[in-house]
Structure 1
């Protein structure tokens, strides 16, 4: 039995932002294992080099700050000149800052907004300008369970991820007529090095398992199947949609 050809993305070129570790690196690995040329992005040259060495196939790096408009424009142009036209963009760069909303500072608000939402606008706009000219492209925005629901202490994060969900729909409206599909992938509670403090918190971890019909934390590899669907021809008539990979948490009370 072989994979259906609709899911074949071998030979495509994909850029994954914020892919030096965690979910971004896992998504990049999935694309590389599927035969893509993968461009890892981040700001830490050393970390990206280490990450690239871990992955199979043709893996490149592109060091630029996704929150800096001119740096994004130069970085995308340089990547396409060096590697080739981008077929797939995964807007994964993101961060979390936890604090009660009354105590959240202006500086931290702008920092999380720029990292989680503005970056997807800047990188998406730059990549889509080229994709729309070519008449095809796939953009996958990494949203979150918190694009739909929220708990105390993470309101700004949820605001950025809710905004990213709506930006995804807006990108679909503007770029869909030019052959570009833009969809969101919404992870639930995923076990990574960044969420390790939550995983090791016995009370919180037990709450996650009780609240999740699957009865466990997600793993980064749980996201790869959804990504490959959204990056492939199998999703050519899927646009502006959110695919939650959360073990069922958004579906139950």
Structure 2
């Protein structure tokens, strides 16, 4: 084994869903930098195209609304017919921050539809060809909210916990065919999804203080985990959830009792 090439992705095709910005854009650029040919997919086709232009290697962008199962299936079939997809990364999610008693049925369905059902559709649509070809890596984005919650995070947290179990089950079912399925669980990352709290100084500071590193992450700081799970460096890693949370779930906050310093 050539250990200098453990993280190289030359000759592999990647599809990044949610590549129009934030974590998805960072993932697309990182995969391309390591040699993958990347298809950037996003509900905003122009944003996907902009990500592709900035990838610095062969890449293309196109629109995909993952809330449309038929569209997901059609794109997966087209890419499978062209060159196949060796790596699938998906990031789309939405959060309605309300307490349970204030939630509407429409809001519940909106969060579940994008965060969980669309993830199921993506895993099925792209996983089918990977299983047929006998290799592939699927990487979904869960969250620390799959494990630790706060008031107002009920449905979002439930979908992210559901995604963890979906990934684990897919890993068990696809593993005999050589397909790996894993999840990444970020902490607080500066993205459009978190902008409502990022723009509140008190909230921003409180979240920063929760991690061992005492700050928020940038989208680029999640990209290394994507490259790792996509590459041969993780050839025996499947069914796992990799926290990229600055130590949030390890330290349970930043309070230091007297006499511990």
Could you tell me the TM-score, scaled by structure 2's length?
Answer: 0.92
Offset at 1:63?
Answer: 2.1
Q: Which residue of 2 aligns with 1:72?
A: 72
1:17-59 residue CA offsets vs partner (Å, 9 max, x unmatched)? 1111111111111111111111111222222222322221111
Number of equivalences:
251
- How many angstroms apart in 2 are the aligned matches of 1:132 and 1:59? 24
Matched residue, 2:115: 116
Alpha-carbon displacement from aligned partner over 1:106-140 (angstroms, at most 9, x marks no partner): 11111111111111111111111100111100000
* SS at structure 1 position matched to 2:185: strand
SS in 2 for 1:4: helix
The answer for the alignment partner of 1:50 in structure 2 is 50
Question: Aligned ranges for residues 1-253 of structure 1 at < 5 Å?
Answer: 4-82=4-82, 84-253=83-252
Measured in 2, the distance between the counterparts of 1:228 and 1:49 equals 21
8 Å contact kept, 1:209–1:217: yes
Contact 1:97 1:108 in 2 (8 A): yes
List runs of 5+ in structure 1 lacking aligned partners. Answer: none
Aligned-residue Cα RMSD (Å) equals 1.5
Segment drifting more, 148-157 vs 191-200 = 191-200
In structure 2, the CA distance between the partners of 1:7 and 1:51, relative to structure 1 (3 Å rule), is closer
1: CA distance between counterparts of 2:193 and 2:119?
Answer: 20
* Whole-Å separation in 2 of the counterparts to 1:206 and 1:42: 31
Q: Which has the larger radius of gyration?
A: 2
Distance 2:156 2:46 in 1: 28
User: Once the 2 structures are TM-superposed, how far is the Cα of residue 234 of structure 1 from its aligned partner?
Assistant: 1.2
Alpha-carbon distance between aligned partners in 2 of 1:28 and 1:51, rounded to the nearest angstrom: 8
Q: 1:105, CA displacement in angstroms? A: 1.0
**Cα separation, 2, equivalents of 1:161 and 1:183:** 13
Tell me which stretches of 4 or more aligned residues in structure 1 moved more than 6 Å.
Answer: none
Structure 1 residue 3, shift from structure 2 partner: 6.7
Match of 2:259 in 1: none
- Alignment check: 8 A CA contact 1:14 1:89 kept: yes
TM-score under structure 1 normalisation?
0.94
Q: Equivalent residue of 2:192, what SS?
A: coil
The alpha-carbon deviation at position 225 of structure 1 amounts to 1.2
2 CA distance for matches of 1:42 and 1:236?
28
Contact 2:7–2:34 (8 Å) recurs in 1: no
